[in-house]
Amino acid sequence: MKQLGFHFNAKKCLGCFTCAMACKNMYHQPTAVTWRKLYNLDDPIYPYAFRGFYSLACNHCETPACLRACPVGAYAKRDTDGVVIHDQNKCIGCGNCIRSCPFGAPQYNEELKKAEKCSFCWQRLDQNLEPACVLSCPVNAIEIIDVSTNNMEPTQAPPGIQFPEGFPESKELNPSIRFTLPKTPDLLCSGPFSTKIAKAKKDNS
Amino acid sequence: MSVKDGLYQVFRNVCPRNCYDTCSIKTYVADGKIQFIEGAPESSFTDGGLCVKGYSYIDRVYSKDRVTYPMRQMRQASGKLSGQWERVTWDQALTTIAYKIHEINKKDGSLHGLCLAIGSGNHGITNNSPEGMMSSLGYTTRTVGTPCWPAGIDAQTYDFGEMWCNDPEDFVNSKYIILWGVNPAWCSVHTMKFIYTAQEKGAKVVVIDPVFTQTAAKADHYIQIKPGTDGLLALGMAQFMIDQEFIDTSFISEHTLGYKRFNSYLQGTINLSDVSKTCGIPENEIQQLAFEFATTKPATIWVGYGMQRHTNGGANVRAIDALGALTGNIGKSGGGVRYGHKTNRIFNYFAADMSAPESVNTLGTGSNRAINTNKLAQEILDAADPPIRMLWNTCRNPLSQDFNRPLLEKAFKKLEFIVCVDQFMTMTAQQADIFLPVTTLFEEESINVAYWHYWLGINEKAIEPIGECKSNTQIAIDLSKKMNELYPGSCTFPTDLSPDDWIEKEFNDAVYTMYGITSWKELKSGSKRALIDPVAWKDKIFDTPSKKYEFYSKSAKTDGHKALPESFPGRDSTMPYRVLTPHSKFAIHSQFQNLDVMESFNPEPHVSIHPDIAAEKGITDGDWVRVFNTQGEVIVKSRVTNTVSKLCLVLYEVWFKNHDYCVQNLVDDASSDMGALKTGSLGVAIHDQFADIEKVSQKRPGFPFKFWGQS
Amino acid sequence: MKPVKEIPLVLLTIFTQAAIGLSLWATFFLYSYPDGIYLFTPVIPGVALVILTVGLISSVFHLGHPLGGIRSMGNLKFSWLSKEILAFGVYGVMLVTDLVLQLNGVSSLPIQVLVCLCGSVALYTSSRIYRNAGYPALNNFIPLLSFVGTSVLLGLGLLNMGFLGFFVMSTEVSAVLGQTLFWTLIIFTVIHFLIPVYWLTGNRVMRTTSVNHFRSILFWTRGLLSIWAIGLFIFSNQNPTLYIFWLIFIGEVTGRVLFFNHMAHASENIGKSFV
C-alpha cells in the first residue's frame, strides 16, 4: 500500500528554518505551535554545534501512536497514501496523542484547546501541489517518498536511514521517514604537499 | 489551503531587502488579507521557495507591534525627548514637519540643515523617492556611501574596470569553487542549490572563513583563516602557482597588464612560510589549495563582503581577483571572481531625480552637502554652517546598525528634529519626534532587481495599506502638497502621478531590451531574466583604461593606493580578541528578528566564544558575559562553541525587541582602504574591531533541586 | 505540559485507584475475617462510588473541551483511554449493583468479586495509557506498579479509617490490617527510591527522567512523607492512626504530580544521542 513519507537530507540541510516558517506562513499556527521543527544535532552526532540539524514534522507512521491513543478517533490514516490526518472537529483536547507520540509531532494549541499536527498538506497533495515545507526548501533537503515502494530501504545508507542517531528508535510505529546523514568537510591536505606528484597530475590532465 | 479553486487573488511581489537573493514572490490574497505567500516558480533562481525571513512576512504585515498611524513624541522644556508618544493625524504630522523645514530654510537661508538618512531597508526602485523628495525641496545634506561593499567594488573596478560577475546560476558549471569569506547557507540560501549541483557533478567546494560557518559545514574542505589576512593568503597562493608554473600564460600575456611587475613583487616579497604563519594555515594546505584551484578548470571564487570590511579590505579583494586572472578563469563559464554586479541598474531613477524649486535655484545656493554615511555620528557632530538640525530617517535604523553607537547617541541629542519613517518602534524610531508609518512591500508598487542574480520583477500592491500606513512615495507626495499649501512653490515633487505612472517612468528602452519585454506589465505574469550572457567578461575586453585585466593599475595609484594588489597588514589589535559582527540567519540587519514568530525560533542574542577562551575566562555555556572595549560594551549570554576561532568573539548584528542588545556599541567607524571611487565614501572596517570579554556575575551555584521539573 | 494542567489527572488516578483499593481490601478482609468486622456493609461500595465519581468528574477538567468527554469511548479498538472510560463505567455500574443489593440486605460474594475484578481491569487500563512510546521511562511495568501501589496503600488506609463508626474491627483484624499497611508502606517506599535507580540503567531519556526525579523536591518530599509515616507506625506501636493515613495520602498525591511532571519525553531528546 502506498505510504508517503519525508526523506530528510541532513547532508543538504542548511538549518535555515525556511521549512518551519513556510509551514507557519501556510497555516498561521499560534507562535508556540510549530508543526515542523528544527533540532540541533549534539556533539556526538555532529561535531560542530548549531551546524547540523534534523528538520522533523509528523512522520505519518505505519502504526501511528496518536491514532491509537486518541479516545475520540480524531486521527485517521488515509488509505490512498498513508497520510495521518488529525480532525480538529473531533478533538477534545485530552493531550493523550501528545504524550504518546515519541516524535513530538502533535502539539497543544492553547487558543483552540485542541491538539494539532502536520497534515502533510493533504489538501495540497490532493491538488497535485507539494507540501509547503517541501516546496520551500531552497536546497531540496526535504522530499516526498513512497516508503512502500522501497526505493529507500530502512537500513540502506545512503540514502535512507530510518533511525539515525538522535532520533527515537520506535520500531513498532514504523515512522515513514528516511534520513541522509550530515557530513563534515575533510582536511584539504593531510600529508606534506608533493610538488612532484602535483606536477605529474597536472601533466596527465 | 487550496490554490486552484480560485479562492485567491494572486499578486506578484519581490522581496526588497538588501540581500543577494531578491526573491520573486507570489502573494495569495483572500478577503483583502494575505493568506500565504510562495516563491515564484518562474524565476529559476527563487525556484518556488523563499527563506525563513521571507516566509515570516505575514507576521510582519499583521504584527501587533506594527505602528500603523503617525505619532508624535513630545520634548521636555530642556529639549530632551520625553518618551511620551501621542497619536496624530497625517495632516498634523506633515504640518509640523513643513513648519520645521520652513523654519530651517528661514534661519539658515538653505536646507543644508535638513539631512536625509536613507539606508538599504527597502531596495525597491520607487523607494528612491525620499531622495527625490529632498531634491524637490532644495539643496539638503545627504549621507553618501554605503557600509556594505564599497572597498570590494573599487578593488574590482581597478582590476576589471567594473564590478561584474557571472550569473550565480552558472555555478553549476564550475569544477572548483572557493567560497571566500561568504556564507550563502545563511545569506544567500538560493545560491546553495547551484553550488550543490556543481558538487554533485564532481566539483570541489572549499570554504575559507575565520568562522566555521554553515556553508563550511557543507563544503568539501574548510580552511580557517586569521581575519584580515585573506589578501596575503591569495598572494601566497599566487606566488606558489607562478613558481610551480600552474598559471595560464596565454591568458596572462593576451589579456592582462602588469604581470611582470606583479610577479617580481611576489617573488621578492611573498614567502610561503611567512604567509602560513600570518594566515594561520599550514603551508601544505596553501600549496594544495593553490594547486587544485590552478589546475581544475573552470574554477571560481565567490568573494564575500565580510572580508573587505577591513582596513586592508580593498587590497584583499584585489589579491583574490589576481588568482582568477593568473589561472585564466576570467570570462569563462563556471569561472570568474564573483562579487556582485550593477549591470541591471539602468532604470531612469525618476523618483530620485527631482530638481530644486525655482525659488531655490534662483538664489543659487548651489548643491547638496555630502556627508559620509559610514561616519554618521561624527558627521552630525562636526557639521557646521549650518549644523544638521533635522534628520529624515527612512529605510534605516542607525541606532541599531550604524557604527560607534555611543557617539551616535550623542549626535542624536544634537539634532533638533527627527522624522523616522518605519514600521516598528525601532531603536531609532524611539528617538524620533515624528514617527511616520510606512507600508510593507505588499501595500505598495515597485520594481526590483538584484545585485547578484539577473532577474527583474514587478512588485504589485496586493493589499490595501494597513491602518494609515503610506509608501515612501506617497509620503513624499503628501509632504509636497502640504509644503505647497503652506508655502506655495516650495516643493517640486510631482503630486499628480498614478502608481502606474511611477512605475512607467522608471522604464526605458534599455531596460525593455535587456529583459526582452515591451511593457513592464508583462512582468505581472512572472519575473524575467536579463537576456545577457551569464558569463561576465566573456570577450575578455575589460573596462580598465588598458582594456585588459590590470594587475598593475595606474588608476589605483592615482587614487592613492598601491598600483599592484600588494598586501599590507590590517588594523592593529588593541584588545585581546577580534569582534566579528556578521549576519544572522534569522534577520537582515535590524529587520525580522523582532517578529514574535522569529523570536520563537531564535529567542535571545548570544556571543559565540571558543572553548579555550571560555576556559581561560572561567565562562561556561549560557553564562552572562560582558564584551567590552574602550568604546562600549555588550552584555549578553555566552555560547561556547568550536565553530569560532580562538581569536574571535562572534556577535550577530540584529535587533531583538525584548533585549537591550546592540553590537554597534563595540564597532567603531574606522574606514576601510577603498570605496570612495564608486560609492563616494570609504567603506567601514566592520571586522577590524577588538574587545575583551569577562563573566559579569559570579553565577551562584543554583539551588540544585527543582520543584516542577522540566516544564 | 504545564504542571497545573495535570492536576485533574492526578485527582483522577489517585481517587479511582483509592476506590479500587478499597473494594479489593474490603472484600479480602470481609471474607478472610468474617467475624472480626462489624460493619454497615453498604458503606464500602458507597464510599468507593463517591470517591470514584469525584475522580471521574475531576478528570474531565483536563480536557480542552470537557463536554467532549462524552465521546471519549470513540476508539475502543485501539485507545486505552477509551477502554479506561469503559472499564471505569463497568466498575461503577458494578459498585452501584453491589450497593443496591447490600442496601436490600443481600451481600453477594460473586458480585463483590466481580466488583474487584472490574476494578482491577480498570486499574490496568489506566496504567496502559501511560505505557506509550512517548515516555521510554514509563513504557514498561512502572505505571502499573505505581498505580497498584497507590491503590493498595490508599485502599488499606481508607479501610483503616473506620468510616465514622460504620466499620468496627476486632483487635486481631486491626492488628493484621496495621501490619499489612506497615509492610506495604515499606515495600512501596523502597520501590519509590528504586525506580529512578532502575531508570539510570536505561537509555538517555530514562536517565534524564531519573535525574529529573533525583533533582526534584517532590521526589524527596514523597520519600520523606513515607519514611515519616513508617516512623510514626513504629513509635505508635503499629497503630495506624488517621494522621498516618493523611501522610500516605499526601505522599501519593505528591508522587503522582511527580509522575506527570518529571517524565522526560522522547521528543525532548531529538538531536541528542539516545544511547
DSSP letters for B83-121: EEEEE--HHHHHHHHHHHHHHHHHHHSSEEEEEEEE-SS
Confidence of residue B698 (pLDDT cuts 50, 70, 90): low
Interchain contact, A138 vs B190, CB within 8 Å: yes
Residue pLDDT, tens place only, B582-637: 999 999 999 999 999 999 999 999 999 999 999 999 999 999 999 999 999 999 99
CA distance B45 to B281: 35
Contact B316, B182 (CB under 8 A): no
| Mean pLDDT, rounded, for B31-48 | 96
Confidence of residue C159 (pLDDT cuts 50, 70, 90): confident
pLDDT, chain B, mean:
95
Residues with Cβ within 8 Å of residue B153, at least 6 apart in sequence: B163, B339, B340, B674, B675, B677, B678, B679
What is the model's pLDDT at position B399?
Answer: 97
Interchain contact, B711 vs C220, CB within 8 Å: no
In this structure, what C-alpha cell is assigned to residue B579? 569582534
Pairing, β B81-87 against β B71-75: antiparallel
What is the model's pLDDT at position C174?
Answer: 83
* pLDDT beyond 50 at A157: no
Contacts with C262 from chain B: Cβ below 8 Å: 709-710
* pLDDT beyond 50 at A189: yes
What is the model's pLDDT at position C11?
Answer: 95
**B707/C contact by beta carbon, under 8 A:** yes
Contact B361, B201 (CB under 8 A): no
Interchain contact, A73 vs C136, CB within 8 Å: no
Nearest residue to B634 (alpha-carbon basis) of B424, B406, B428, B410: B406
Residue pLDDT, tens place only, C68-102: 999 999 999 999 999 999 999 999 999 999 999 99
Question: B interface mutation test: which of A110, A187, A188 has the most B CBs within 10 A?
Answer: A188
What is the model's pLDDT at position C147?
Answer: 97
Place of cell 598572494: B235
What are the C-alpha distances in Å from C206 to residues B286, B360, B710?
49, 79, 14
Question: B interface mutation test: which of A9, A12, A13, A18 has the most B CBs within 10 A?
Answer: A18
Distance from CA of B262 to the nearest CA of A (A): 23
**Chain B: residue whose CA lies nearest to C213:** B709
- The phi and psi torsions of C148 (rounded to 5 degrees) equal -60, -40
* pLDDT beyond 80 at C168: no
Interchain contact, A93 vs C273, CB within 8 Å: no
Burial of B571 (0-12, 13-18, 19+ CB in 10 A): middle
Distance from CA of C68 to the nearest CA of A (A): 5
* Overall size of chain B counted in residues: 711
pLDDT above 70 covers what percent of chain B? Answer: 97
Contacts with C196 from chain B: Cβ below 8 Å: none
Contacts with A98 from chain C: Cβ below 8 Å: 1, 134
| Mean pLDDT, rounded, for A32-57 | 95
CA distance C44 to C163: 9
**C68/A contact by beta carbon, under 8 A:** yes
Contacts with C74 from chain A: Cβ below 8 Å: 71-73, 90
Of A15, A184, A189, the CB nearest to B284: A189
**Chain C: residue whose CA lies nearest to B705:** C215
Confidence of residue B175 (pLDDT cuts 50, 70, 90): very high
Question: C interface mutation test: which of A36, A97, A99, A167 has the most C CBs within 10 A?
Answer: A99
CA torsion sign for B430, B433, B434, B439 is: negative
What is the model's pLDDT at position B701?
Answer: 58
**Chain B: residue whose CA lies nearest to C212:** B709
Residue pLDDT, tens place only, B478-533: 999 999 999 999 999 999 999 999 999 999 999 999 999 999 999 999 999 999 99
Interchain contact, B642 vs A47, CB within 8 Å: yes
Distance from CA of A132 to the nearest CA of B (A): 9
Interchain contact, A90 vs C71, CB within 8 Å: yes
| Mean pLDDT, rounded, for B647-673 | 96
Nearest residue to B581 (alpha-carbon basis) of B570, B572, B590: B590
- HEC states along B252-301? HHHHEECHHHHHHHHHHHCCHHHHHHHHCCCHHHHHHHHHHHHHCCCEEE
Residue B109, sorted as left (phi over 0), alpha (psi -120 to 50) or beta, turns out to be left
Confidence of residue B699 (pLDDT cuts 50, 70, 90): low
Distance from CA of A93 to the nearest CA of C (A): 4
Contact B255, B549 (CB under 8 A): yes
Of B36, B196, B597, the CB nearest to A139: B196
Contact B297, A204 (CB under 8 A): no
* pLDDT beyond 50 at B711: no
Lowest mean pLDDT among A84-93, B60-69, B669-678, C162-171: C162-171
Other CB atoms within 10 Å distance of the CB of residue B76: 10
What are the C-alpha distances in Å from B397 to residues B151, B421, C227?
22, 10, 63
Omega prior to B386 cis, within 30 of 0: yes
Report the side by side order of strands in the sheet with A177-180.
Answer: A142-146, A4-9, A177-180
DSSP secondary structure of C47-76: HHHHHHHHHHHHHGGGSSSGGGGGGTTTTT
Those chains having 3 or more beta-carbon pairs within 8 angstroms of chain B are A, C
Place of cell 550565480: B168
**Beta bridge partner(s), residue A186:** B221
* pLDDT beyond 60 at A62: yes
* pLDDT beyond 60 at B168: yes
Confidence of residue B1 (pLDDT cuts 50, 70, 90): very low
Those chains having 3 or more beta-carbon pairs within 8 angstroms of chain A are B, C
pLDDT above 90 covers what percent of chain B? Answer: 95
What is the model's pLDDT at position C31?
Answer: 87
Interchain contact, C133 vs A40, CB within 8 Å: no
What is the model's pLDDT at position B85?
Answer: 97
What is the model's pLDDT at position C38?
Answer: 72
Question: A interface mutation test: which of B172, B284, B584, B586 has the most A CBs within 10 A?
Answer: B284
DSSP secondary structure of chain A: ---EEEEEETTT-----HHHHHHHHHH---TT--SSEEEEPPTTTSSSTTS-EEEE-----SS-HHHHH-TT--EEE-TTT--EEE-TTT-----HHHHH-TT--SEEETTTTEEE---TTHHHHTTT---HHHHH-TT--EEEEETTTTSS-TT-SSS-BSS-TTS---TTT--SEEEE----PBPS-SS---HHHHHHHHHH-
* pLDDT beyond 60 at B710: no
Scanning B144-258, the segments in alpha helix (DSSP H) are 150-160, 184-187, 189-200, 214-218, 230-243, 249-255
What is the model's pLDDT at position B522?
Answer: 97
Interchain contact, B193 vs A140, CB within 8 Å: yes
| Mean pLDDT, rounded, for C231-238 | 82
**Chain B: residue whose CA lies nearest to A52:** B217
Contacts with A165 from chain C: Cβ below 8 Å: 273-275
Question: B interface mutation test: which of C209, C215, C260 has the most B CBs within 10 A?
Answer: C215
In this structure, what C-alpha cell is assigned to residue B651? 556577535
Contact A61, A118 (CB under 8 A): no
pTM of the full structure: 0.94
**Chain A: residue whose CA lies nearest to B291:** A198
Question: C interface mutation test: which of A100, A162, A170 has the most C CBs within 10 A?
Answer: A100
Distance from CA of A133 to the nearest CA of C (A): 20
What is the model's pLDDT at position B5?
Answer: 54
Interchain contact, C266 vs A41, CB within 8 Å: no
Instruction: Count CB pairs under 8 A between chains A and B.
Output: 159
SS3 B611: helix
What is the model's pLDDT at position B171?
Answer: 98
What is the model's pLDDT at position C238?
Answer: 65
| Mean pLDDT, rounded, for B335-362 | 91
| Mean pLDDT, rounded, for B166-178 | 98
Terminal CA-CA length for chain C:
25
Lowest mean pLDDT among B57-61, B78-82, B302-306: B78-82
* pLDDT beyond 50 at B151: yes
What are the C-alpha distances in Å from B28 to residues A131, B32, B36, B441, B500?
16, 10, 5, 14, 21
CA distance C240 to C253: 19
Chain A interface residues facing chain C, Cβ-Cβ under 8 Å?
39-42, 44-45, 53-54, 56, 65, 67-73, 90-96, 98-104, 108, 112-114, 165-170, 172-173
- Alpha carbon of residue B662 to chain centroid: 17
**C220/B contact by beta carbon, under 8 A:** yes
